[in-house]
Amino acid sequence: MTKKSFSESYKEAGVDITAGYKSVELMKQYIARTKAFGDTDDVGGFGGLFHLDMKDLKDPVLVSGTDGVGTKLKIAFLMDKHDTVGIDCVAMCVNDIICVGAKPLFFLDYIACGKNYPEKIAQIVSGVAEGCVQSEAALIGGETAEMPGFYPEDEYDLAGFAVGVVDKSKVLDKTSIKEGDVMIALPSSGVHSNGFSLVRKVFDVENADLKKPLESLGGKSLGETLLTPTKIYVKPMLHVFDKVQVKAVSHITGGGFYENIPRSLPDGYGVKIQKKDVKVLPIFELLQKEGNIPERDMFNTYNMGVGMTFVVSSEEADAALAAAKEAGEDAYVLGEIVKSDEESVILC
């Protein structure tokens, strides 16, 4: 039926519905990669179907998360590279879900664009599918909206929504945290998807040579470094959950250390971190230098090289580090939990 669907009047207004059909056909090959992670229906219906297997769940709790990529997309436009921002979109959602202790089940995306270029939309979805594969979640549907006059022809926005599940007895309980517990860091892959309004201002990206290799970035270009996809921590954290008792997890997104770490700590407690122990990535050193940004603002805006933290007892710290490293993460001890009624993050 859709093959006969066509409106010349709508096309003259700037919306080509046949381009939408072509986009769906092109993206199906990428969506197929994720079907192994859930008994799902084919894409194209009015709703995405997912069969929830509850045989190992006594009291299942669904956990949801939604987010977008933000103005990092401006870098993708300037670089004309669209196959990685979908990973960011998935990461921002599933990394939040894992903080509760839940395993992601499925994902849906929403792409709004000024003009539907099917090949570009397919590139975006290829990244979304890759993010789903990394987090073992099924991509069960989405929406592409062509919105002429609202977005420039060559620009788009990208957002997503994920749902996960956890047995109620395994929901992480931060109230079990006590003085002397250890906070462990999992390194980030870069700036991830936060603070790009400041990044764009500091580097004047619209006028910068984004493809020029920079010695300060290990020979990588600024554009390549900034577009590095957000790391997805689902698999390593699930592996750690199987090995030790994790008390709390924090996804270090916008707001950096000062906003996100306190969300994983009970009232009356903080974490004492030696600044020298934080493995800061070169991109943050360059950003701070070029923008003359105060250190406090850096740690209150960016992940500074730490994408995720989790808390375990001091007795299980070594086992937790070993488990994270078994899962491919170069984990390290970030700080110690202390009693504190004033500061939740104490950088020394």
Q: Give the DSSP per-residue string, 165-198.
A: EEEGGGS--GGG--TT-EEEEEE-SSSTTS-HHH
Q: List the end-to-end C-alpha distance of the chain, in Å, as a whole number.
A: 66
Provide the whole-model pTM. 0.93
Strands across the sheet containing 138-146: 60-68, 156-167, 103-113, 138-146
User: What was the pLDDT predicted at 51?
Assistant: 83
Residue (of 246, 38, 249) closest to 135 by Cα position: 38
> What tokens were used for 161?
């929504």
Chain centroid offset of residue 323 CA? 22
Query: What is the reported pLDDT for 342?
Result: 87
Q: Which residue has the tokens 């997309």?
A: 73
Torsion of CA 326, 329, 330, 331, to 10 degrees: -90
Within its chain, how far is the Cα of 280 from the centroid? Answer: 19
160-184 pLDDT, tens per residue?
Answer: 999 999 999 999 999 999 999 999 9
Please state the separation of Cα 167 from the chain's center in Å.
Answer: 23
Residue 191 sits at φ, ψ, to 5 deg, of -70, -15
Q: Across residues 132-150, what is the average pLDDT?
A: 94
Element (H, E) at 127: helix 118-135
48-99, pLDDT tens digit by residue?
888 888 888 899 999 999 999 999 999 999 999 999 999 999 999 999 999 9
**Residues 301/255, Cβ–Cβ less than 8 Å:** yes
- Average pLDDT for residues 270-299, to the nearest whole number? 97
Q: Please name which of 157, 182, 163 lies closest in space to residue 60, comparing C-alpha atoms.
A: 163
Stretch 135-164: mean pLDDT: 95
The residue behind tokens 């073992």 is 136
What domains are there in the chain, each with its CATH number? 2-170 (3.30.1330.10), 174-347 (3.90.650.10)
Q: Which residue has the higher pLDDT, 32 or 17?
A: 32
| pLDDT score at 61 | 96
- What pLDDT sits at residue 4? 67
Q: What is the pLDDT of residue 40?
A: 62
pLDDT of residue 96: 98
Give the pLDDT band of residue 311 (cuts 50, 70, 90): very high
Measured between alpha carbons, how far is 129 from 121 in angstroms, rounded to an integer? 12
- Tell whether the model's pLDDT for residue 331 goes beyond 80: yes
| pLDDT at 42 > cutoff 70 | no
Average the pLDDT over 301-321 and give the result.
98
So what's the pLDDT on residue 1?
41
State yes or no: pLDDT of 329 exceeds 50: yes
